[in-house]
Structure 1
Amino acid sequence: MRNDQNITWHHSTVTKKDRQLKNQHKSCVLWFTGLSGSGKSTLANAIDQKLFQQHIQSYVLDGDNIRHGLNKDLSFGANDRKENIRRIGEVAKLFVDSGQIVSTAFISPYQEDRQQVRKMFEEGEFIEIYVACPINVCEQRDPKGLYKKARKGDIPNFTGISSPYEAPDNPDLIIETDKTTIEKSVEEIVTYLESKKIL
């Protein structure tokens, strides 16, 4: 059994501020949330590529990739989804502490879970980006064939079909991927980061 009384936080000699000064930019998490097929991973990788080209320290944490390793023990039930997001929040926090801009591409369907992650970060470090796209468009795209399987009943607890998605009430950014291009979306995110003095 874990005993928190025997665990002490070890402060790093090199601080987050030190790393940010060296990198010449601040660090944050770009939390992309939205339905399957809305374009979260595509957008997260596009902004990562843009930042990389500008010599910005960045990384992408993708939902499917994380479930291949760190979270492969978790199902898609409500409790495991909550734990999935909690773990990602903790990993993202480490990346932010290391001075990087980390993009997370996760459906993260529940408002409460996203708010709990926001509380892990200092003011301005958690940027919630709602990748908004009508479910019929997501279903038409269906890049992984998941909606087709969900409609047939082969995938239980599928967000938007048999499990709810709670859209953000007040996201920092809304990107409507059915109405704009990847290039313009990336430009909007970069402009936002500049306006917040992160870049």
Structure 2
Amino acid sequence: MLLSGVEINNFYPAATAGPGPGMCEARRFQITAWFSGSRVMETSEGKWLEPVYAVSGSLAPFPEERARDYRRRLEQACRQRSDTDRWFGAESDWFATAPERAYLGARLVDAVVAAARQQGKLPFSLQCRPYTFDSPYRPQRAADVRKTAASLNPRAILEVRACNDEPRRNCVGVELAKFPEHSPPIEYRWDLEIRFDATDGLMIKDVALADTHLLID
């Protein structure tokens, strides 16, 4: 990546099993390079960045008696990954570590998309939350929002964070790429804020879906 005359290079060592079932974790090593006044290439010493995460299988919890064998197979699957476009960062704060929030966000997005694709009434409230409240593209029917939620790619996570207006353990924000086959700018992201009951098996209570560019295609 070239930024203001500085070339930024990220290197990904082999990934390891991540913070939960189906999750991989990797640390990036970053080296920057630039041309000095004499047009001689200079480089930094490099630094380790915060870990990034990716989904490599089912996120469902597994029996404790199978943990050792499962962990071995997950380690092997993570080491074989060579992609760098399906990794995402996670925010840490007083309420959750980055690994905890990464796994939690991935599980919740899976559950939201799966529920939206099924027939019948949703087991949680689903609403559209536009960034521009006077936008002419705001959907008029709840079915429009559900159709959008059902079309999301739960593996296209870009970032998992605390909710903007409720930074507590029972709320997580997840940003998804709108066009995961490309590298779109930040305005082409779906943003979900998911509130849940942590004492009842992560029961989802409310989901707010927003689009920073266009609410509904």
Q: Shorter-chain TM-score: what band?
A: under 0.3
Q: More helix per residue: 1 or 2?
A: 1
More strand by share: 2
Give TM-score, length-normalised by structure 2.
0.22
Q: Which has the higher contact order (CA 8 A, sep 6+)?
A: 1
Larger radius of gyration: 2
TM-score scaled by length of structure 1: 0.23
